[in-house]
């Protein structure tokens, strides 16, 4: 009995020890719980939320592109994406039947996707809204119709190379669409939904929505009426002259706003990946197809350079007058050629222009006169004027891929090179560079930045942001500018540019005919640059015809194009 009692005593104390040991461990575990559930709670809650929430984005509507008259050039159209969610489908046969019928797809195609075990399977995208609504109205379990925006260009091919188009995710690919991506694209919204591990939404948990911010509308200086007419003229000219390409650029020389930029052939913005007529995409390799597309999208007005020829005499004349190397009253004699070192450079008039003053020399587009002026200015001065006029820099136009000027290095210019530069050969510039430089010379000497975008406005109109562009004053003196306007008006009134004259309007301008490289290929570029009114230019147009058949003189075929354009748009612009 006593034995038993002693047993009991230490048994008891040891059982109590066990209990307290347990209590100690339990306390430790409770402390661990406090650590996890109080101090680490935020971290694990965040991790768990990340795990449970699924993010779906709500697309923002892309800003529209709107012309000077308020006409919409680039718009959004609502399209639908039809998908199926495998786990939610109740009646697979019905789903297959309805979808194949409504979407015009084969039953096998739809069935394969309906029966595929995946969380969400896309059946068809870019379904028009009416069809999407019809499918949604049937409210089939497991069928999802999501709305999406697709870019739509109401005018199809019009100003295609300037406007550009967007890709699959509605991001700009070329043109204004890519330059103003930041303004146009807006910000996608999100829907956060809570789902189980398989992605099934938990309705009772609700959803969190962040509304999308739509893109801003881009108001551009492009005038759809002028653009249409310019495009029409360009197409007509391309056809009648059997030319490769015709570019017409219309801008406001006072502020650099571009009113029209046509570069035919253009392409259909709503089908930008369709190759030009008669070309079968499947006949080419992937690389070749891309090259053809790039060529089709290329904007000749800014992406390509050319030898400007006689239109460049505007710049030579301005440099000559500004430097004092020549006065309008200076007299010259043209025997039909001029010797520069040992080279005999011919004038386009074989018999020569005889005695003429500088104004007449310009009216005649006489090469020996301009070579003489160029040689008088000298390499260094000429070069510094190029720099001053902005010829050596890009214009800064708001389109992607502007090409730079290809000019001799100053130290490589000898008298012969200087002579050829004087009448616009042996170097290359872009049409936009020529038009911009000519604008600066005739607008009183302000180097303006050519541009399309005027302002970006939120879709509800609550906020408007105007774009400003750099202007450099006094690139030529007001006096030189005035003289240039006078001389160029004479060119049109009674000189080589008389085909550019418009009855009732004062027009100034300059013609050009340049042979393309290599010389002797028989290919020419005919061009005419005109502006009006000649005393206070409000509009400047440059027409360039690449490789015309038959008559190829700028004064004969390009001047009439600008004349027809001016006949139409000058009264229109006056009314505005």
Partner 1 sequence: MAQRSTSRRKQDKGEKFMDYSLLFIVLFLVGFGIVMVFSSSSYEANQKLGDSTRYLRQQLFASILGLVAMMVVANIPYHFWERFAVLAYLGSVVLILLIIPFGHSSGGATRWLYIGPISLQVAEVAKLGMILFLSSLICKLGKGVRSNKGFLIVLLSPVPVALMLWQITNNLSSAIIVMGIAVLMLFVSCPDYKRFIFLALATLAAAAAVVFYVVQTAQAHADELDFRGGRILAWLDPEAYANDKSFQTIQALYAIGSGGVLGKGLGQSMQKRGFLPEAQNDMIFSIICEELGLFGGIAIIIMFLLLIWRLMIIANNAPDLYGALLVVGVMGHIAVQVILNIAVVTATIPNTGISLPFISYGGSSVMFLLIEIGLTLSVAKGIRLKDL
Interface residue list for partner 1 (CB under 8 A): 3-4, 7, 10-12, 14-19, 22-23, 25-26, 29-30, 32-34, 36-38, 40-41, 43-45, 47-49, 51-52, 194, 196-198, 200, 202
Supply the minimum distance, in Å, between the C-beta of residue 2 and partner 1: 13
Write the DSSP assignment of 85-105 as a string of letters. -GGG-S-HHHHHHHHHHHHT-
Supply the minimum distance, in Å, between the C-beta of residue 56 and partner 1: 18
Kindly tell me which of 198 and 575 has the beta carbon lying closer to partner 1: 198
Kindly tell me which of 147 and 201 has the beta carbon lying closer to partner 1: 201
Taking the C-alpha atoms of residue 428 and residue 9, their distance in angstroms, rounded to an integer, is: 112
Kindly tell me which of 198 and 287 has the beta carbon lying closer to partner 1: 198
CB 530, CB 540: distance < 8 Å: yes
Supply the minimum distance, in Å, between the C-beta of residue 121 and partner 1: 20
310 has catalytic annotation = yes
In the numeric block, the tokens 């709107």 are attached to 66
The three-point CA angle 180-181-185 to 5° equals 125
For 477, counting Cβ atoms within 10 Å of its Cβ (0-12 exposed, 13-18 middle, 19+ buried), the class is middle
Kindly tell me which of 16 and 410 has the beta carbon lying closer to partner 1: 16
In the numeric block, the tokens 């050829």 are attached to 420
Supply the minimum distance, in Å, between the C-beta of residue 96 and partner 1: 24
Supply the minimum distance, in Å, between the C-beta of residue 141 and partner 1: 16
Which 8-state DSSP code applies to residue 55?
E
Its sign, for the CA torsion 483, 487, 492, 494, is positive
Closest of 386, 380, 387 to residue 410, by C-alpha: 380
Please tell me which residue in 221, 310, 426, 440 is annotated as part of the active site: 310
Taking the C-alpha atoms of residue 228 and residue 238, their distance in angstroms, rounded to an integer, is: 15
Supply the minimum distance, in Å, between the C-beta of residue 182 and partner 1: 38
Taking the C-alpha atoms of residue 389 and residue 315, their distance in angstroms, rounded to an integer, is: 9
Kindly tell me which of 48 and 279 has the beta carbon lying closer to partner 1: 48
Taking the C-alpha atoms of residue 14 and residue 164, their distance in angstroms, rounded to an integer, is: 88
Its sign, for the CA torsion 153, 159, 162, 164, is positive
Kindly tell me which of 92 and 493 has the beta carbon lying closer to partner 1: 92
Active site amino acids: 310
């Amino acid at each position: 009995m006593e034995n038993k009692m002693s047993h009991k005593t230490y048994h008891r104390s040891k059982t109590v020890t066990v209990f307290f040991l347990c209590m100690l461990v339990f306390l430790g575990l409770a402390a661990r719980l406090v650590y996890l559930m109080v101090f680490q709670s935020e971290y694990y809650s965040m991790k768990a939320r990340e795990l449970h929430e699924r993010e779906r984005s709500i697309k923002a509507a892309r800003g529209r592109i709107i012309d000077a008259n308020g006409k919409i050039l680039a718009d959004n159209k609502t399209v639908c994406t039809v998908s199926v969610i495998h786990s939610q489908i109740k009646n697979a046969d019905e789903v297959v039947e309805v979808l194949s019928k409504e979407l015009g797809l084969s039953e096998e195609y739809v069935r394969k996707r309906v029966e595929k075990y995946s969380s969400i399977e896309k059946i068809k995208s870019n379904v028009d809204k009416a069809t999407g609504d019809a499918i949604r109205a049937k409210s089939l379990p497991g069928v999802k119709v999501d709305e999406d925006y697709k870019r739509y260009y109401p005018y199809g091919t019009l100003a295609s190379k300037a406007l550009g188009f967007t890709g699959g995710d509605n991001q700009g690919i070329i043109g204004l669409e890519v330059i103003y991506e930041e303004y146009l694209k807006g910000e996608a919204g999100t829907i956060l939904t809570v789902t189980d591990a398989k992605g099934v939404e938990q309705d009772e948990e609700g959803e969190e929505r962040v509304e999308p911010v739509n893109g801003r509308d881009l108001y551009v200086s492009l005038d759809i009426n002028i653009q249409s007419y310019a495009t029409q003229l360009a197409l007509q000219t391309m056809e009648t002259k059997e030319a490769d390409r015709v570019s017409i650029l219309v801008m406001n020389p006072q502020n650099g706003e571009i009113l029209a930029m046509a570069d035919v052939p253009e392409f259909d913005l709503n089908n930008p990946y369709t190759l030009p007529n008669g070309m079968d995409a499947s006949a080419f390799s992937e690389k070749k197809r891309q090259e053809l597309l790039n060529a089709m999208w290329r904007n000749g007005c800014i992406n390509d350079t050319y030898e400007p020829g006689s239109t460049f005499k505007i710049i030579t004349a301005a440099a000559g007058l500004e430097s004092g190397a020549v006065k309008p009253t200076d007299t010259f004699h043209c025997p039909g050629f001029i010797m520069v070192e040992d080279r005999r450079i011919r004038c386009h008039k074989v018999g020569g222009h005889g005695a003429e003053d500088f104004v007449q020399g310009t009216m005649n587009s006489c090469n020996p006169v301009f070579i003489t002026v160029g040689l008088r200015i000298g390499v260094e001065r000429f070069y510094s004027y190029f720099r001053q006029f902005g010829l050596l820099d890009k214009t800064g136009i708001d389109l992607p891929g502007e090409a730079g000027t290809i000019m001799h290095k100053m130290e490589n210019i000898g008298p012969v090179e200087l002579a050829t530069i004087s009448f616009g050969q042996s170097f290359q510039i872009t049409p936009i560079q020529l038009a911009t430089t000519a604008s600066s010379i005739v607008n009183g000497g302000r180097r303006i930045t050519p541009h399309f975008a005027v302002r970006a406005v939120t879709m509800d109109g609550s906020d408007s942001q105007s774009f400003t562009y750099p202007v450099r004053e006094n690139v030529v003196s007001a006096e030189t500018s005035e003289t240039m306007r006078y001389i160029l008006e004479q060119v049109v009134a009674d000189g080589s540019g008389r085909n550019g004259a418009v009855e009732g309007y004062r027009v100034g301008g300059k013609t050009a005919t340049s042979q393309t490289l290599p010389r002797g290929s028989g290919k020419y570029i005919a061009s005419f640059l005109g502006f009006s009114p000649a005393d206070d230019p409000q509009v400047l147009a440059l027409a360039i015809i690449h490789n015309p058949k038959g008559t190829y003189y700028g004064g004969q075929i390009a001047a009439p194009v600008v004349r027809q354009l001016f006949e139409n748009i000058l009264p229109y612009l006056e009314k505005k």
